[in-house]
Structure 1
Amino acid sequence: MPVVPLFLNILWIVFGGLGMAVGWLIAAVVMAITIIGLPWARAAFNIAAYTLLPFGQRAVDREAVTGRGDIGTGVLGLIGNVIWLVLAGWWLAIGHLIAALALAITIVGIPFAWAHLKLAGIALWPIGKVIVPA
């Protein structure tokens, strides 16, 4: 990892990124416990890792990376995202929005606020996303 993203990721963890990553992990564990929620748990674990170290990576549609559709990028992915939104997505997005507002107050916190806003969007619709190097 280059020096600047490494430095930003360390600051990110110190200034609240760790807390949101834990929130994603809790959502993933709750989904995994239900057995039925395993597809959502997998997506939540992937996004938790991204939430822990967001700089130097980005989330993109899996179909754009692979060049073909699959179960998570089609109609079942849409249904899965709607279910996720109702069960866990909204409260994770609210957490990211609150953190973004708190960080945006300072000039130094603006890059971190922007990262939280990107993560809030992913929190609402995570199925069918894949994390790739930036």
Structure 2
Amino acid sequence: MGCLGNLLWFLFGGALSGLSWCLAGCLWCITIIGIPVGVQCFKLASLSFFPFGKQVRYGGGAASFLLNIVWLLFSGLFLALEHVLFGVLLCITVIGIPFGLQQFKLAKLALMPFGAEVY
């Protein structure tokens, strides 16, 4: 079921979500200081392309918290708003509710990506 869900997800919105993460990663990689942030964006783009069957565990310390604050100001808020908007639109129909819930999971991740572990 996860394979079918990921295929439908990719066709009906996952590609756009993943490309948004890739764009953010490319913008962060322009500077040398932003390369670790860009690499994290590319890791999370893979989750955004195929989210079904994966879970996110949050943790981290003070360094993750500070990096999340910088992230939130420059990229996180825009990505989170995109995921929330798509999630609300998908939850309008009964069939779209599982896809909308995945968008909400990605919205939370877009707000606090550092210190999060995908398993």
- Give the Cα–Cα distance (whole angstroms) in 2 for the partners of residues 48 and 114 of structure 1: 17
- Report deviation, 1:57: 0.8
Rounded to whole Å, the distance in 1 between the matches of 2:99 and 2:32 is 34
1:128 to partner: Cα distance = 1.1
The answer as to whether partners of 1:46 and 1:131 remain within 8 angstroms in 2 is: no
> Which residue number in structure 1 is paired with residue 113 of structure 2?
126
1:40 lines up with 2:37 in the alignment: yes
Match of 1:103 in 2: 90
Q: Percent identity, aligned pairs only?
A: 34
Deviation by residue 1:8-37 (Cα, 9 ceiling, x = unmatched): 000101110110100000001111111111
Question: Which residue is 2:12 aligned to?
Answer: 15
Question: When the two structures are aligned, how many residues end up with a matched partner?
Answer: 119
Measured after TM superposition, the shift of residue 39 of structure 1 is: 2.0
Q: Deviations over 1:54-86 (max 9, x none)?
A: 00111113x5xxxxxxxxx22111110000000
Residues 102-122 of structure 1 deviation map (CA, whole Å, 9 limit, x = unaligned):
111111000000000010000
Instruction: Look up the equivalent residue of 1:87 and give its one-letter code.
Output: F
Distance across 2 between alignment mates of 1:100 and 1:13? 14
2: distance between equivalents of 1:35 and 1:26?
16
The structure with the larger Rg is 1
Q: Secondary structure at the match of 1:20?
A: helix
CA distance in 2, matches of 1:130, 1:32: 21
Please report the TM-score for the alignment, with normalisation by the length of structure 1: 0.85
* RMSD over aligned Cα atoms: 1.0
Segments ≥4 residues shifted beyond 2 Å: none
